[in-house]
Amino acid sequence: MWLLDKFLKAAIKRGTMVVTDHDGKTYSYGSAKQGEPPLHIRLTHRKAANHIARYPQVGAGEAYMWGWLEVEEPHDIRDMILFVTSNAKRDDGGSLKAKGPLRKAAQKLLARVDSVNLRSKARKNAEHTYNLTRELYERFLDEDRQYTMAYYRRDPENTSLEKAQLDKKAHLAAKMYIQPGQRILDIGCGWGGFALYLARHYDVDVTGVALAPDQIAFCKERAEEAGVSERVKFELMDYRDVQGSFDRISSVGLLEHVGTPHYPQFYEHTARLLSPQGVMISHCCGRAKGPGMTDAWTRKYIFPGGYIPALSELVTQSEKYGWQVMDVEAMRFHYSHTLEEWYKRTVLHRREITELYDERFYRMWLYYLAGAEQSFRHGNMVNWQIQYVKDREAIPMTREYMEAESARLRAADEGKVPQWHLDPALREAAE
């Protein structure tokens, strides 16, 4: 316990954390705030404290997954992660940072190797993340299954996840400057929500590609049900194998899975696919500071092969292949509110999720969502929305067209958000 005790003494300055070790011995950290109850942590296994301290990249997450670490009511694991990181101002998902030059160098090398995503590995990584049961994603995502940041135009406390995700799609579509009759490629199409949104609002043909078989099967079912399967096609395909010419390209939540060694290939191939007067929009998680590395816990359990890029990494590589960056928006805090809502919905459906998987998986998912939230709330994570062209004449001179088109799309969908989705408890009752 002495090593963990040393870290917590240095890290906890605001608020109070009380840790009870497996032997019943109690340790207190920080300073009490009037009217604020202390956070009580209980370590249930004799190896817990040592595991957390010795393996800073994965220790706390694994201890919680295995039941070695318990957070006593009225708090939960989200409270603990946000408490520690708001004190320590960490940006690595809630885990302690690796110490010493050798350990840091080893972590950097492992992260680099893990980001190499050849075709076979890319498909395996996609299936690890996105081929989980449909029922899991139904439990915490919005009805359209948008597994990326929602866009909160108004007070997040008074905006439903469903409305925020609908506004996100309008915001993205407006930046694409879509014209009638165009061909659109949606790379990493997920469960098809954005592709179907574009087809609903525009006279266009859309092709969506992704690597998770169940996602593509679900996309095809949705297109058939909507009666648009002739104009909206979905293919189980690596984007590197796509051929043809497209007027618009969208990639939403894709670049996090490409891997830094493959950025040149991404920009070279998409430039080949896009027409001379085309527009590409990319939405991805990003680092507001410089390049970094994905923490070991996330690489191991959630997004193998994943990496969140710095803006400099994306712009530098895109420029080499003829792309011109016309618009960049750094979207701050939107994802923290999105992840908070995903966390709440996961907790709401604990029974169903543990029946689908088990308690260990449920705890892993909670830790992932809470850790990700802290990175966007207390760390340096943002979301990048980047508009690329090959010819500056492809878009109007000013940004007013974006605001006007976003407003038109939002007005067209006014009243289409199911009211019973505004309260997850109502959704559960309806089911």
First vs last C-alpha separation in the chain:
46
**Mean of all residue pLDDT scores within the chain:** 88
Residue 385 lies in a domain: yes
Same structural domain for residues 229 and 370?
yes
Q: What is the pLDDT of residue 420?
A: 37
Paired residues of 411 in beta bridges: none
Residue 109 lies in a domain: no
Residue 103 lies in a domain: no
How far apart are alpha carbons 320 and 353 in whole angstroms? 45
186: containing domain: 120-430
CB atoms within 10 A of CB 421: 16
Q: Predicted confidence band at 102 (pLDDT cuts at 50, 70, 90)?
A: very low
SS3 state at 263:
helix
Helix axes 119-130, 213-226, angle to 10 degrees: 70
Q: What is the CATH number of the domain that holds 10?
A: 3.30.1050
Q: What is the pLDDT of residue 306?
A: 84
Residue 99 lies in a domain: no
Same structural domain for residues 74 and 29?
yes
Residue 9 lies in a domain: yes
Residue 252 lies in a domain: yes
Q: Please give the backbone phi and psi of residue 309, each rounded to the nearest 5 degrees, phi first.
A: -85, 155
Give buried/exposed letters for 396-405 (b at 16+ CB in 10 A, else e): eeeeeebeeb
Same structural domain for residues 240 and 363?
yes
Same structural domain for residues 321 and 185?
yes
Same structural domain for residues 74 and 131?
no
pTM: 0.88
Q: What is the identity of the amino acid at 387? A: Q
Q: What is the pLDDT of residue 127?
A: 47
Same structural domain for residues 317 and 414?
yes
Same structural domain for residues 162 and 40?
no
Q: What is the pLDDT of residue 117?
A: 52
Q: What is the pLDDT of residue 284?
A: 97
Residue 110 lies in a domain: no
Segment 116-167, tens digit of pLDDT: 555 554 545 444 444 577 889 999 999 999 999 999 999 999 999 999 999 9
Same structural domain for residues 134 and 275?
yes
How far apart are alpha carbons 77 and 74 in whole angstroms? 11
Same structural domain for residues 44 and 124?
no
| Strands 15-20 and 39-43, sheet pairing | parallel
- Pick from 172, 328, 193, 353: which is nearest to 250 by CA? 172
Burial of 240 (0-12, 13-18, 19+ CB in 10 A): middle
**pLDDT > 90? residue 377:** yes
How far apart are alpha carbons 199 and 251 in whole angstroms? 16
Same structural domain for residues 143 and 46?
no
Specify the residue for token string 């169940």. Answer: 214
Least confident of 54-68, 76-90, 356-370: 76-90
Same structural domain for residues 266 and 391?
yes
Query: Which of the listed residues 46, 65, 88 is the one where a domain comes to its end?
Result: 88
Domain count, the chain: 2
Q: What is the pLDDT of residue 295?
A: 83
Output 64 or 97, whichever has higher pLDDT: 64
Q: What is the pLDDT of residue 422?
A: 43
